[in-house]
Structure 1
Amino acid sequence: MERSEAYGFSAAISGTFLLACLLFSALNRQQRAPYMDEAFHVPQAQAYCEGLFQQWDPMITTLPGLYLMSVGIVKPAVWLFGWSGSVVCSTGMLRFINLLFSVGNFYLLYLLLCKIHHKNKWGL
């Protein structure tokens, strides 16, 4: 990848993260309670955060991957930052984890495009 492409990608992913953070902040200020399908997913993720892995809401038809990843991200953060129980698996924290995954998906899309167009991401 040329240096200008690397700068462009860095700017694009930084801009995406900034825009996502701004939207996240605005949404969280206006809508603190779970909405739409969050009414099912947030309690399920909170059950996983409490270690209740046998509990499952029959209204949910997706695999538990995001719940498990949320626990894998949130639990170390609790230990590292010393957060309290109310912050740990709050709706806002679970939304933020989705934001991190969306930025990760942006990077994966970039890697796929490099692969499709036979570009090495390091410019080699």
Structure 2
Amino acid sequence: MEKAEWYIFSSLSSTYVLISCILFSKFTQEQKEPYMDEIFHVPQAQKYCEGRFNEWDPMITTLPGLYLVSVGIVKPSVWLAGWSGRMVCSTGMLRFINVLFSSGNLYIIYLILCKLHQTDKMQGPPSSPSLHI
């Protein structure tokens, strides 16, 4: 990765995370209770946070991967920060997991673009068509 590319990516990702955190904060302040499909997903994730992995809401049609990852991220983070009680798997904390995943997706997209452009560089410039008269 070239130095200029790294600076551009760092600036872009920092700006992205900052805007995402501002939007997350604003949304969480305005909408404290679960919203739209969160009325199904938040209680399910909270069950997983409490260790009740055998309970499942039949209205949910997605795999439990996000709940498991949320528990894997939230529980250790909360323990390290010394938080307890309702903060552990609150709606806001679970929403913040999406900010982390979104930032991770930005990095994955960047890696894919680097790989695609690396392949283009290896192929070299397109050859100019020759005219045969």
TM-score range, shorter chain: over 0.9
Give the AA of the match of 2:26.
A
Greater Cα radius of gyration, structure 1 or 2: 2
2:34 equivalent to 1:55: no
CA distance in 2, matches of 1:64, 1:116: 32
List runs of 5+ in structure 2 lacking aligned partners: 120-133
CA distance in 2, matches of 1:18, 1:102: 12
Task: Find the aligned partners of 1:46 and 1:5 in 2 and give their Cα distance.
Answer: 41
CA distance in 2 between counterparts of 1:15 and 1:78 reads: 26
Higher relative contact order (CA 8 A, sep 6+): 1
Identify the residue that residue 71 of structure 1 maps to in structure 2. Answer: 71
Write out the 4+ residue segments of structure 1 that deviate beyond 3 Å after TM superposition.
none
| Runs of 5+ consecutive residues of structure 1 not aligned to the other structure | 120-124
Instruction: Report the CA distance between 1:78 and its aligned residue.
Output: 2.1
Deviations 1:42-65 (A, max 9, x none): 000000000000011111111111
- Size of the alignment, in residue pairs? 119
CA distance in 2, matches of 1:23, 1:75: 24
Q: What SS is found at the alignment partner of 1:59?
A: coil
TM-score when scaled to structure 1?
0.93
Partner of 1:26: 26
> Is the partner of 1:20 in helix, strand or coil?
helix
Matches within 5 A, 1:1-124: 1-118=1-118
Identity %: 67
- The one-letter amino acid paired with 1:105 is N
Partner in structure 2 of residue 122 of structure 1: none
Moved more, 79-88 or 110-119: 110-119
Deviations 1:12-66 (A, max 9, x none): 0000000000000110110000000000000000000000000111111111111
Query: What is the CA deviation profile of residues 49-98 of structure 1, one whole-angstrom value per residue up to 9, with x for unaligned ones?
Result: 00000011111111111100000011111221110121000000000011
Query: SS state of the match for residue 51, structure 2?
Result: coil
